[in-house]
Structure 1
Amino acid sequence: MGAQLFVVATPIGHLDDISYRAIDVLKSVKIIAAEDTRTSAQLLKHFNISTPLTACHEHNESNKIDQLIERLLNGEDMALISDAGTPLISDPGFKLVRAAQEKNIRVIPVPGACAAIAALSAVGLPSDRFSFEGFLPSKSSQRIIGLEKLKDETQTMIFYEAPHRILDSVKDMTHVFGADRPVGFAREITKTFETIKKMTLGELVDFIENDHNQQKGEIVLVVGGSIQEKDMEQEKLDQLLTRLLQDLSVKAASQLAADLTGIKKKIAYQRALELTQQD
């Protein structure tokens, strides 16, 4: 087998969140490509890992790729890590992974911590469909343009935000999405001053304004989607059931509606009952 590129997730705060496999991989590879060698050196020292480090960040990744790929082609197993969490998720690494794939170098994920997924799992907003939006633009005018494009999105949206922009960003979200839109606020996940709360965007503005500590650290915003499309789907289901109930029993109408729309039969049956009781 040729050399392999391991994409290794590292802790986002609590060091115990690293996996045994990640430690074994970091010890066994010939070299580790790291976003910030100084930050990563502290992590390696904690786990007694002596593997050499080389920098691979947004400012040098394009120029460094040929050198790193050459080492892989020469048979040196390599690990890719970011400052914290899973590489490529709002972090460098995409160009290196793409280049490795193009050279038929095996790329192996070593899963672990990811702030976006950790926040989504804890804030109590729908997680069956979601999009990761990363960082919004730093300028308010551009940020609002970006948010306007997401205004009618029905799935849950996950954003990263810098502490010095968090208040302005939430205010812009409130302006575009409305003060009543639900939001999960996750700050300093797994760290000493971890804060995880669910509220409305309007309430979050007040929360951040009244507690300056909430404008510090690593922040994830999980914003609930628009309910407009859900309302339209409910209206379409009602129209379909109303027509079917003119010729079919509740059971038959709900079964056919479930087959046509993909909705669960139990939900269609309950709604059909409600519609018949309204007549």
Structure 2
Amino acid sequence: MSQTLRDLAQAAATRLEVAGIDSAARDARLLLAHATGFGAARLGAEMGEGAAPDVVAAFEQMVARRLTREPVSHIIGKRWFFNHEFQVTAAVLDPRPETEALVLAALGAPFGRVLDLGTGSGAIVLSLLAERPDATGVGTDLSRAALAVAEENARRLALSDRCEFQRHDWFAGVTGRFDLIVSNPPYIAADEMPDLAPELCHEPQMALTDTLDGLSAYRKICEGAPAHLAPDGRLMVEIGCSQGAQVAGMMTAAGLRDVTVLPDLDGRDRVVLAHADR
């Protein structure tokens, strides 16, 4: 009897688990769904079917890459984030569920124009615009490769006419004022990098760390935000779970008001929010 898709998935899950990958079974199914082209929803109904040689070969190549701790999103080239599938490459940070807390908080009040600093894949600004059909946005990044990914995601989501991507270093070169400024900046301190999960070695380091204390991006964002916020506009940033008080202090020192630290779904500090003067 030929090897079934279920056999393939189970064998791969065992190999991944032995390698210390906690999400072994889930990863094996995601990779197999991509190898077969069935998609995750249909795969369950097809698991008893025989595995074609080309599927076996493609799947084995993907499993080998995952064993090196390359993220699944990089292997299959996509990641689901806040109601949409985004293209993901090694040029951008893998959009994470924790970042959805920032999107949810941003959607808690109206906005017409939004700026996403360090946009990466564009997942944040594009998720926001998809929920607000009358809004427009700008996403900035220093990486040309990241901006290319963001532009492709905008095209896929039919949002290119409402979102412009520009190459800037934080606020340098940004013009105009915005109702909402959001950012998920590099917040990992240099001395924390050696302890990160191996998967993060495959992601762009400039999106993870400032190579200093993990707070330098916040200093620039908080300093520049007042000049780019519309009256009563909001600044919202994602933070590491221990950075809430420090970032909140920076926003207060910059003259922003109603500074609030918000938790993610796991109850950890995740977002700092502040308003400009009315």
TM bucket (normalised to shorter chain) is under 0.3
Max Rg structure:
1
Query: RCO (CA 8 Å, sep 6+): is it higher in 1 or 2?
Result: 1
TM-score (norm. length: structure 2) = 0.26
